[in-house]
Amino acid sequence: MGRTRIRDIRHEELINATITAVHKRGYAVVTMAEIAAEAGASAASINYYFGSKEKLMEATMRRLLTLLKQAMLERYATAKTPHDRLMAVLDANFSDRLFTNEQCSIWIQFWANAPYAESLQRLHRINRSRVTAHFRAELRALVADDRRETLREALQCYMDGVWLEAAQSDAPLDPAQARKEAREVADLMLKSES
């Protein structure tokens, strides 16, 4: 038997509702009732499934991290060269699935609140370390030792900065365009090496 399927369904529904509600109202002011309404449920049911508002937020952030990890692994599977794999990291960050107004918005808000919530901070650090490690690994074959860290940090901060800017825009984002620009930036930086 499938075990309690209902539990998984509600988890998914409520996390999606959280993403939408936080995007609409802001992390600072969104209420349990608003999130519940977004999912067509009651505030009490959120506590039934997640225990507390904080745990719901943690689960939501974990979901976002999982999506990013998946997007990265998908693209890694087909990438052959270090250059391809570097681009895979960039493409993953700006994939159609992730680079949306809703997700950029909520991502920045979790980010801003990470220093004040142990659980969010932990997740944020894990994620950043993973991206850093990927960049370092691929740049090893592409860039001389003395420039590698400068280039890595530049690229990583650039990606973060693009998300930050995207979170401010209310016009729909264009992931394909973002990928193109990211590649241009990366190639611009790599070119000064060869």
Partner DNA sequence: GTCATTTTTTTAAATGACCATTTAAAAATT
Partner DNA sequence: AATTTTTAAATGGTCATTTAAAAAAATGAC
What stretch of H or E contains 106?
helix 101-113
Does 12 interact with DNA (rule: CB under 7 A)?
no
Closest of 115, 13, 19 to residue 65, by C-alpha: 19
Question: Least distance (Å) from a copy of itself to the CB of residue 6?
Answer: 32
The site partner of 53 among DNA, a copy of itself, none (C-beta below 5 to 8 Å per kind) is DNA
Among 54, 66, 115, 177, binds a copy of itself (CB under 8 A): 115
Tell me phi and psi for residue 45, to 5 degrees. -70, -30
Q: Tell me the number of residues near a copy of itself by CB under 8 A.
A: 42
What is the footprint of DNA within residues 52-71 (CB under 7 A)?
A: 52-54
> Could you give the C-alpha distances from 107 to 15, 38, 73, in angstroms and in order?
14, 19, 20
Is the CB of 55 or the CB of 148 nearer to DNA? 55
Residue 66 and residue 130: Cα distance in Å, rounded? 12
Read off the DSSP letter of residue 116. Answer: G
Binding site for a copy of itself (CB under 8 A): 25-29, 105, 108-109, 111-116, 121, 124-125, 128, 147, 150-151, 153-154, 156-162, 164-165, 167-168, 170, 181, 184-185, 188-189, 191-192
